[in-house]
A and B are shown apart, each in its own frame.
Chain A
Amino acid sequence: MTTAESQISVTSFTPTELYARILRDEPTFILDVRNEDEAKRSPIEGRKNLTSLNIPYFAFLEDEDGSTARTPQDRAIFVVCAKEGSSQYVADVLAERGYQARYLEGGYMNWGNFYDIRDVVSAPWGRIVQVARPARGDLSFAVISDGQAALIDPMRHTAVYTDLVAAAGAQLTHVFDTHVHADHISGGPALANETGATYYIHAYDAIHPIDMLPAVIAYTHTQEGDRFQVGAVTITTRWFPGHTLGQVNYRLDAPDGKSALFTGDGIFLRSFGRPDLGGKSEAWTPMLYRSLTERLPAMADEDTLILPAHFSTLDEGTSEGIFAAPYAEVKATNEALRPRDEAEFTSYVLSHLPVFPPEYVEIKRVNIGLVVPCEGKAAELELGKNICALAGA
């Protein structure tokens, strides 16, 4: 390293800062210095004003002048790599040449594991808190009321949830998964172990649909109509098969008459959960049709807040990053709920199935305890964004 280089102290930026910029839609130029495949597989996505350019760090090593010349000079450069080191190197090179360049702390790995926490509902009876992993498009929720807490679809980094519950001065009593996830590793079983709370899934999901092997984790079966009291609110299990056999929605009823429906991968705000990840799309699609057309109207009121487990693009949410909408609005805007007969629906679904990520079979194994990955493997399985919704739906 030359003297000139060592005198420049390039500064970093955090996932928190990046997400705030994305939500405000501030012009943000990402220079992604990962190799082409990784940059394509898991891009950093924003709204309109986020642009990105991929120039691998080894292109800077080979041809510093040429690579620098491809980087625009008239704006701040946010350099991103896989784990940090290479982005720091590239930011150094750019800063030395007068660029305003910073690098992402912890790299894409850190962005993928970044959680954003905010209240969806705050009322005299308590709160519904959204816990999002923006890079993955994953959403989970905490319900806190009268010193008790329940979690819905918590993710792998359990401290995020135990800290949240502790900060609220509450005790975790219920951990609900809407289904056994295929795209990310659930934090549910570990949270139940750590805290003594009960972990609930529908037993149909406790069998791996491809392996036909039963779960070896501890869980409590929950089925249609089960009711749970969490502080002042009631949570009711509603069966919603289609994405999986044991997909359930959890309906929350608050003392002020308000309600919410945690829909997991049943219905999303603009799409719905694909029915093929169990390898049985032709058998499961008609079931999904009945869930969408018959079960959903029976479990949601017009003003019931729909709270799904995923989003596909950030514009599904508000400018504050809240991904929730009343059922009436979802009905009006979600193409999935457009009235059509079963044959039309089935042929539409079967012709719009996105790629089936091979790691999804393995993630389901992890989620019912058939495989126990190390941290590195777990992180690798979860890299990139979820593909749980139908393409173009």
Chain B
Amino acid sequence: MSTFDQTLDVKGAKCPMPLVKSRKALTELTVGQTLKVIATDKGSVADFQGWAKTAKNVELVAQETVSEGSQALYVHYLKRTA
């Protein structure tokens, strides 16, 4: 597991909200800090990858899938780079 500075819970949120909220939460971090995002939307895995390539101030440090009961959680670690 990667280290992080803040956690954002977007469980149950549907596209585009996981990304919209993560984007906003990142602006509240200082440059160099990492945000851990916990989502239930499977589509977020590919979308966060695409977003990190598009955005100028985001680095996708790691992604993992963990299970919580019967549901899968998609966890993203995002670093603010600028």
Instruction: Point out residues on A near B: beta carbons under 8 Å.
Output: 35-38, 56-59, 61-62, 81-83, 85-86, 89, 376
Contacts and interface: CB of A to CB of B under 8 A. Distances in A.
A85 B54 contact: no
Contacts of A86: 15-16
B46 A57 contact: no
A144 B56 CA distance: 60
A86 B44 CA distance: 12
Interface string B2-17: 0000000000001111
A306 to B, nearest CB: 39
Contact of B19 (A61, A82, A376): A61
A83 B15 contact: yes
A-B complex: 9 closest residue pairs judged by Cβ atoms: A58-B51, A35-B50, A86-B16, A85-B15, A35-B46, A85-B14, A86-B15, A62-B55, A89-B16
A298 to B, nearest CB: 49
B61 to A, nearest CB: 17
B20 A36 contact: no
Contact of A85 (B16, B42, B46, B56): B16
Nearest to B70: A374
B54 to A, nearest CB: 5
Contacts of A38: 46
Contact of B43 (A59, A61, A62, A82): A82
A170 B16 CA distance: 45
A61 B46 contact: no
B54 A81 contact: no
Nearest to A36: B50
A37 B17 CA distance: 20
Given A57-B15, A85-B14, A85-B17, 10 more contacts: A35-B46, A56-B50, A57-B19, A58-B47, A58-B50, A58-B51, A62-B51, A62-B54, A62-B56, A82-B43
Nearest to A376: B42
Contacts, number: 48
Nearest to A67: B54
Interface in B14-72: 14-17, 19-20, 23, 42-43, 46-47, 49-51, 54-56
A58 B46 contact: no
Contacts of A37: 46, 50
A197 to B, nearest CB: 34
B20 A61 contact: yes
Contact of B15 (A59, A62, A81): A81
7 contacts: A37-B46, A57-B19, A58-B51, A61-B23, A85-B15, A85-B17, A89-B16
A33 to B, nearest CB: 9
A13 to B, nearest CB: 19
Given A35-B49, A62-B55, A57 B16 contact: yes
A103 to B, nearest CB: 12
Nearest to B16: A86
A64 to B, nearest CB: 12
A12 to B, nearest CB: 16
Contacts of A57: 15-16, 19, 47
Nearest to B56: A62
B47 A83 contact: no
Contact of B54 (A59, A82, A89, A376): A59
